Structure 1
Amino acid sequence: MRGVNASPAIPADRVRLSVAPMMDWTDSHCRAFHRVLAPHARLYSEMVHANAVIHGDRARLLAMDPSEHPVALQLGGSEPALLAQAARIGAEAGFDEINLNCGCPSDRVQAGRFGACLMREPALVAESVAAMIAACPVPVTVKCRLGVDDDHEWERFVHFIDTIAAAGCRSFIVHARNAWLQGLSPKENREVPPLRYDWAYRLKRERPALQVVVNGGIADAAEASAHLAHVDGAMLGRAAYHTPYLLHELDVAWFGGALRSRAELLRAYRPYVEAQLARGVFLKHITRHLLGLFAGQPGGRAFRQVLSEGAHRPGAGWALVEQALALTERAQAA
């Protein structure tokens, strides 16, 4: 990174645990809930295209509660000038990091020449990253795959990383599998291409100055903890969403503190929920993120059922959450 404007470093303890950007899931309500569960986790927005940030409804697209910090804005796009403008806007909106998506394999990103397609254009990514770093004062990071389709050469992957690092990027989130641009849906792309964590481990071993966070297929606390022996951090995706108590368990195990019950954590979320309801937000937009809190627990099905059936009704408020909790606690006591 000689002669370039290097991105600011992220403190090591701030990349150890993070929650992946997930379309239609990690909105502000979800992130505020995850913050209650995991005070030390780094949180990420859904991917937002740079054009949407520049021209769209910023109040909605960049919605963020102060409790969410540290929180990153993930951008999609492939035009350096637009990405730089969007990065500046994101930083001015209060985001603590701007992350460039180089891993999404959907048809939309292929048509727009961004996401995973950028794995084959390292020079363009480097130009984009350099422009983003110059435009905003917060860390600029990259989330990528190992390759695209039949790209299985380590040299190609590490060339991609080295090219972007030379532009000033210090931190990489590696979804440790390829993206298949033909023949697989985005959902299948999260499950079918084989995981190769050893590439992320090797990257950290051979490029120790870089921060490397591993993502992909991490299902439980033991798996997440095992990664810390090899890389700087573990990023959880679907496991954090479908079994969110896992975030709390990891936060306590890795950073200290007392383990709190699910009910206690949920009630700690109440002030946020009631503040949103007072602003006119419907309860259903919030409680959809809570459905996995009692996954695998006695009463978990009743908890989900009460919220799913009642949250969409006019006037639904915190009393419905207490009703769901009461049924769940009764089942657990039995």
Structure 2
Amino acid sequence: MANNLIKSNVCKASRLSVAPMMDWTDRHCRYLHRLLSREALLYSEMVTSPALVRGRARHLLRFDNAEHPVAVQLGGSDPAELAEATVMCAEEGYDEVNLNVGCPSDRVQSGFFGAVLMENPQLVADCVKAMIDASPVEVTVKCRIGVDDQDPEQVLPDFLKRVSDAGVTRFQIHARKAWLKGLSPKENRDIPPLDYPLVLKMKEQFPHLHLSINGGISSLEQAQVFLDQGMDGVMIGRTAYHAPADILQNADRLIYGTDHYAEVHDVVVAMYPYIDAHLNEGGKLHQITKHMLGLFAGRPGARQWRRYLSENAHRDGAGVETVQAALECLPRAAAV
């Protein structure tokens, strides 16, 4: 019963989610994002199953309870190893375990996981079945519409059918192909054309699946259009990171229908105890403030805020007073 309730809550939260992004969506970033939105589903950056199982790097799964609902993304292609890693994630308390079938980087390809797995849907099915069998935590898949010379019109429905037949009911689909050779990961986020109509078509073809759309979405208004067109969820990446208030500050009201609204100034102040705790553990201020640089994007004083933190957060002994000084660079009206 408890597991069904968690699954229901996460499914509801996934109407809007912040995409897993390497080196960006770490635990400090997610804590900040949770202060802006109580409802949105937050994803970890990818953690590889070899790092957890062979490297015993369980510390990579650390997160704050305040981050719930929170999902962890795993990278891997060995069913048994992924199953063991999934058990670890469930034991740590994550609400969802997501398998990466979308990252196109050379490093990921060399480990035979990420987008290259679009070429082997049966292996993906074997992986998720092992993960589902090993743990009560819901297993989901984030994928592309295809890779290289594949025809997405044929590849994507076949992929969804095979993997859903193995037990997955929720997918996040990045509406671009991934080019495994010839394009960098950065270029793979911009150059292959978006095919939103294909993803919308998949929702019509697989009405029983919970499908979220991802790729190039940069506003809540755009997200709402996709929800109105029948998508179950919208996943936003870069804009949610670089201008988090633009996406998350009003998300609870517009996407979830609650009355929660966090003023950005108050969010900064609410970070102070978290920052102090991190520093007391031996951490550095810039490890947190690098995720806060875009909080005031597009508002008066944003440049001064960003510059002050960029120039001073790395200094020895930098602490909460550094953030307070940066906040004083802003007119109060800009911090709502």
Match of 1:173 in 2: 172
Does residue 237 of the first structure (1) align with residue 237 of the second (2)?
A: yes
1:156-195 matched pairs, under 5 angstroms: 156-195=155-194
Q: Is the CA contact (8 Å cut-off) linking 2:16 and 2:40 kept in structure 1?
A: yes
Aligned residues: 327
In 1, Cα distance between equivalents of 2:58 and 2:32: 20
Does residue 254 of the first structure (1) align with residue 255 of the second (2)?
A: yes
Q: Is the CA contact (8 Å cut-off) linking 2:40 and 2:251 kept in structure 1?
A: no
Match of 1:95 in 2: 94
Q: Deviations over 1:230-268 (max 9, x none)?
A: 201111100000000021122221222143321012212
1:322 counterpart letter in structure 2: Q
Q: Is the CA contact (8 Å cut-off) linking 1:17 and 1:251 kept in structure 2?
A: no
Q: Is the CA contact (8 Å cut-off) linking 2:40 and 2:252 kept in structure 1?
A: yes
Q: Does 148-157 or 83-92 show the bigger shift? A: 148-157
1:258-277 matched pairs, under 5 angstroms: 258-277=260-279
TM-superposed deviation, 1:60? 3.2
TM-superposed deviation, 1:330? 6.3
1:252 counterpart letter in structure 2: R
Q: Deviations over 1:57-109 (max 9, x none)?
A: 53531121111111111111111011111111111111111100001001112
In 1, Cα distance between equivalents of 2:333 and 2:252: 27
In 1, Cα distance between equivalents of 2:332 and 2:38: 29
TM-superposed deviation, 1:328? 1.1
Does residue 323 of the first structure (1) align with residue 322 of the second (2)?
A: no
Q: Is the CA contact (8 Å cut-off) linking 1:9 and 1:170 kept in structure 2?
A: no
TM-superposed deviation, 1:329? 2.1
Identity of matched residues, %: 50
In 1, Cα distance between equivalents of 2:332 and 2:18: 31
Give the match's secondary structure for 2:177: coil
Q: Deviations over 1:91-130 (max 9, x none)?
A: 1111111100001001112212110011010110000000
TM-superposed deviation, 1:192? 0.6
**What TM-score do you get using the length of structure 2 for normalisation?**
0.94
Give the match's secondary structure for 2:328: helix
1:177 counterpart letter in structure 2: R
Q: Deviations over 1:148-204 (max 9, x none)?
A: 012124122101110000000010000011000111000000111111111221111
In 1, Cα distance between equivalents of 2:125 and 2:202: 18
In 2, Cα distance between equivalents of 1:131 and 1:250: 35
In 2, Cα distance between equivalents of 1:46 and 1:80: 20
Q: Is the CA contact (8 Å cut-off) linking 1:10 and 1:139 kept in structure 2?
A: no
Match of 1:3 in 2: none
Match of 1:302 in 2: 304
1:250 counterpart letter in structure 2: A
1:40-189 matched pairs, under 5 angstroms: 40-56=39-55, 58-189=57-188
In 1, Cα distance between equivalents of 2:7 and 2:264: 34
1:90 counterpart letter in structure 2: C
1:120 counterpart letter in structure 2: E
Q: Does 198-207 or 171-180 show the bigger shift? A: 198-207
Change (3 A) 1:100 1:332: closer
In 2, Cα distance between equivalents of 1:202 and 1:70: 28
Match of 2:290 in 1: 288
Change (3 A) 1:9 1:332: closer
Q: Does 324-333 or 291-300 show the bigger shift? A: 324-333
List runs of 5+ in structure 2 lacking aligned partners: none
In 1, Cα distance between equivalents of 2:109 and 2:241: 26
